[in-house]
Structure 1
Amino acid sequence: MKSDDVAKKLRRLQGQIAGIIKMYDEDRSCLEIIQQVAAARSALSSVGRDILTGEACKCASVKPGEDFDKILKSLLELT
């Protein structure tokens, strides 16, 4: 994934977090806030996988194959 795409996703996440803070400050319902927190967590996990995948592909000294895929899968389980 291009660094511009990752930065765009991170800025979108920043906006989501700002929205959650505003909701909290406005005493919005717990359910609404938790739904937004869950969405932000999912988005953060997704961008983390994107970053990890991009870096793993850059750093790999072998072509993606079975061993590479196993290593990548193990790393992605961390996110």
Structure 2
Amino acid sequence: MNSESQKRLTARVKRIAGQVTGIERMLAERRYCVDILNQIAAVRSALDALGVELLTRHLETCVLGHGSGSEHESAAPMSQEQLLAEVKTALGRFLK
């Protein structure tokens, strides 16, 4: 992952952390339940978007680019069957 992508992902995670902190503050302030639920929905949406971006990058670099040197430095050498199993597991966890 290049440094620009890393910066964008880090900024996205920081925004999500800020949203979660906002929920904590809303609870402490005893804000209206529907307002809090709306904020929770926004956090879920932001996390889903982050997950889709990471999954897309994984598919592009670690799966399609497997063996080309573009995969993550921590990626273990795997067969196509192992890569497919890993993606199925990751998708199963992400989509729960």
TM-score category of the 2 structures, normalised to the smaller one: 0.7 to 0.9
Q: C-alpha displacement at 1:55, in angstroms?
A: 1.5
Q: Secondary structure at the match of 2:30?
A: coil
Q: Deviations over 1:14-54 (max 9, x none)?
A: 00000000001110000100000000100000001001111
State the Cα RMSD in Å: 2.2
Matches within 5 A, 1:44-63: 44-59=47-62, 60-61=64-65
For 1:9, the equivalent position in structure 2 comes to 12
Matches within 5 A, 1:21-40: 21-40=24-43
Query: Following the alignment from structure 2 to structure 1, what is the Cα–Cα distance between the partners of residues 16 and 65?
Result: 32
Which ranges of 4 or more aligned residues in structure 1 deviate by more than 2 Å? none
**Structure with the greater alpha carbon radius of gyration:** 2
Report the residue type matching 2:38 in the other structure.
Q
Q: Secondary structure at the match of 2:31?
A: coil
More relative contact order, 1 or 2 (CA 8 Å, 6+ apart) = 1
Equivalent residue pairs, number: 68
Identity %: 34
Which structure's residues are more often helix, by fraction?
Answer: 1
Q: Does 1:42 find its partner at 2:45?
A: yes
